[in-house]
């Protein structure tokens, strides 16, 4: 395992995942029935989605540091991007629909889920190592008909 292989996308995803884990266990979230408790007890169904998103963000960083070949980290980048986005949307929908007023954990959890999404997406973009620009345009395929 070589931590030097980690790029900014994997670092962002891992830090956001670790932050979401800490928030789930220690921060106050709006709970059922108008009460406030930690994130694990405040969201009996959503906690499983968040746990999987946390795991995928951490697995992405571990796979990038451990694997020489890009296949596993690239696949985990796609999975983490989707899971992070679904978790962020679910937390965003939960904000106005929770029985109690959103607490600090609700807002920070949403930011952490968005961080997992952004980090995984950056990791996916870095896999190819090509950034389009004026000197490197996007290649297109012409659909000219033969005469």
Would residue 144 count as lying in a domain? no
Assess if residue 49 is contained within a domain. yes
Give the C-alpha distances (Å, rounded to integers) separating 144 from 5, 54, 88, 106, 147.
43, 48, 43, 54, 9
- Distance (Å, rounded) from C-alpha 99 to C-alpha 102? 9
Instruction: Tell me how far the alpha carbon of residue 87 is from its chain's centroid.
Output: 8
For the entire predicted model, the pTM comes to 0.80
Does some domain include residue 84? yes
Which residues span the domain enclosing 42? 3-128
How many separate domains does the chain show?
A: 1
**DSSP codes, the chain:** --GGG--HHHHHHHHHHHHHHHHHHHSEEE-GGG-EEEHHHH-TTHHHHHHHHHHHHHHHHHHHHH-SSSHHHHHHHHHHHHHHHHHHHHHHHHHHHSSS---HHHHHHHHHHHHHHHHHHHHHHHHH-----SSSPPP----PPP-
pLDDT for the residue 145: 63
Q: Is residue 141 part of a domain?
A: no
CATH number at residue 30: 1.20.120
pLDDT average, residue stretch 53-80: 86
Domain assignment present for 102? yes
pLDDT of residue 98: 74
Give 7-45 pLDDT, tens digit per residue: 888 899 999 999 999 999 998 888 777 777 888 888 888
CA atoms within 13 A on the CB side of 114: 9
What digits encode the pLDDT tens for the residues 76-127? 889 999 999 999 999 999 888 876 778 888 999 999 999 999 999 988 877 6
Q: Would you say residue 147 lies in a domain?
A: no
Question: Whole-angstrom Cα distance, residue 120 to residue 78?
Answer: 7
d(CA 30, CA 64) in angstroms, rounded, equals 35
């Amino acid at each position: 395992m070589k931590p030097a292989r980690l790029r900014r996308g994997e670092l962002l995803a891992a830090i956001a995942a670790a932050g979401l884990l800490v928030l789930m266990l220690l921060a106050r979230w709006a709970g059922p029935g108008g009460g406030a408790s930690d994130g694990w007890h405040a969201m009996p169904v959503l906690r499983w989605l968040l746990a999987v998103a946390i795991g995928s963000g951490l697995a992405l960083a571990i796979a990038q540091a451990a694997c020489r070949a890009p296949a596993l980290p690239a696949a985990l980048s796609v999975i983490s991007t989707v899971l992070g986005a679904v978790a962020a949307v679910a937390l965003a929908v939960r904000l106005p629909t929770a029985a109690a007023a959103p607490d600090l954990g609700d807002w920070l959890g949403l930011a952490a889920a968005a961080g997992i999404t952004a980090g995984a997406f950056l990791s996916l973009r870095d896999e190819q190592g090509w950034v389009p620009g004026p000197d490197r345009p996007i290649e297109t395929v012409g659909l000219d008909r033969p005469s």
